[in-house]
Amino acid sequence: MRKPVIFGNWKMNKTIAETVEFINAVDKEVKDNADWGIGVPYLALAKAKELAGNLNIAAENMHFKDNGAYTGEVSAEMLKEIGIEWVILGHSERRQYFGETDETVNAKTLQALKNGLTPIVCVGETLEQFEADETENVVRTQTAAALKDVCPNCIKKVVIAYEPVWAIGTGKTATNEIAQNVCAIIRDELAKLFGQEAADAVRIQYGGSVKPEGIKTLLEQPDIDGALVGGASLVADSYIAMIENLG
Ligand code: PGA
């Protein structure tokens, strides 16, 4: 039985003051029906972690080296120092705007696991690839590349987020059927790479214009174990509605 895992992804939103306000409103409403969390910008991470008793707090990125001359970057050790246990890696916005590649996502995934962090590894096709019927090929390739050299025991810790780029922030949600089909393909790829037993243990999220009203039926899909939620995770009431709607 895979426990649902639902994370907000705040992206470049919310000051520390706004973070405090959100956590004070939402943390006490969290139920044990899922692992609930939020990806928070670096500057507000320490405060978020200090205040959150029930919400899990994730960084939205991390460097793949231990330390060194990498101006502007943040290491796993720095995240661990403030108690962070989760990190979102390879989000399509990082791939699109900040030069993230399958190779860097892989290096970061290995670095997260080496440091005991739980990585949420994002994969997903662009609109062009979707329309050219390349989704299966893209998600299999991205999944295999991101997880290269991950040890068979470590894979169960990894969370995969399937996020079709055309559905992110556009209001166009993939239908539950499309999302389920692609998440099943990802699980099939995991089985090829790590064996069926390991593949059955990995939690796979869907992300892309997820709304509180859709969360329950989304998670009823057999291969969808959670969600990565952008816009709808920014408003406390909307986040609380997700918790309530999940049941
Ligand atoms: P969205 O973002 O829910 O606003 O589409 C999802 C994401 O980018 O993780």
For 149-171, the pLDDT digits (tens) are: 999 889 999 999 999 999 998 88
What pLDDT is attached to residue 133? Answer: 97
Q: How far is the CA of 103 from the centre of ligand 1 (A)?
A: 23
Q: Which helix (H) or strand (E) holds 227?
A: strand 226-229
Share of the chain above pLDDT 90, in %: 96
For 212-241, the pLDDT digits (tens) are: 999 999 999 999 999 999 999 999 999 999
208 lines ligand 1 (CB under 6 A): yes
> Active-site residue 91, yes or no?
yes
Residues 188-200 have a mean pLDDT of: 97
Residues 170-180 have a mean pLDDT of: 92
Shortest-distance atom of ligand 1 to CA 232:
3
What pLDDT is attached to residue 1? Answer: 84
User: Mean pLDDT across the chain, nearest whole number?
Assistant: 97
3-class DSSP assignment, residue 11: coil
What pLDDT is attached to residue 172? Answer: 83
What pLDDT is attached to residue 169? Answer: 86
Task: Identify which of 9, 166, 239 to mutate to test ligand 1's pocket (most ligand atoms within 8 A of the CB).
Answer: 9
Supply the CATH number for residue 130's domain.
3.20.20.70
Shortest-distance atom of ligand 1 to CA 231:
4
Does residue 43 register a pLDDT over 90?
yes
Model confidence, pTM: 0.98
Shortest-distance atom of ligand 1 to CA 161:
9
230 lines ligand 1 (CB under 6 A): yes
What pLDDT is attached to residue 135? Answer: 98
Band of residue 189 on the pLDDT scale cut at 50, 70, 90 = very high
Closest residue by Cα to residue 226 from 36, 29, 14, 44:
36
Task: Identify which of 92, 121, 168, 209 to mutate to test ligand 1's pocket (most ligand atoms within 8 A of the CB).
Answer: 168
Range of 139's domain?
5-246
163 lines ligand 1 (CB under 6 A): yes
> Active-site residue 60, yes or no?
no
Closest residue by Cα to residue 10 from 59, 52, 75, 83:
59
100 lines ligand 1 (CB under 6 A): no
Q: What does each C-alpha distance from 223 to 5, 85, 133, 135, 226 come to in angstroms?
A: 13, 24, 21, 17, 9
Q: How far is the CA of 174 from the centre of ligand 1 (A)?
A: 12
Q: Which helix (H) or strand (E) holds 226?
A: strand 226-229
Residues 14-38 have a mean pLDDT of: 98
For 107-165, the pLDDT digits (tens) are: 999 999 999 999 999 999 999 999 999 999 999 999 999 999 999 889 999 999 999 99
C-alpha triplet 164, 87, 196: angle, nearest 5°: 65
Identify the residue whose C-alpha is closest to ligand 1 atom 7.
Answer: 230
Count up the domains in the chain and report the number. 1
The answer to whether 32 and 5 are in contact (CB under 8 A) is no
9 lines ligand 1 (CB under 6 A): yes
Q: How far is the CA of 120 from the centre of ligand 1 (A)?
A: 14
Shortest-distance atom of ligand 1 to CA 229:
3
Band of residue 5 on the pLDDT scale cut at 50, 70, 90 = very high
Does residue 184 register a pLDDT over 90?
yes
What pLDDT is attached to residue 173? Answer: 83
C-alpha triplet 30, 31, 35: angle, nearest 5°: 85
DSSP of 174-213: PPHHHHHHHHHHHHHHHHHHH-HHHHHHSEEEEESS--GG
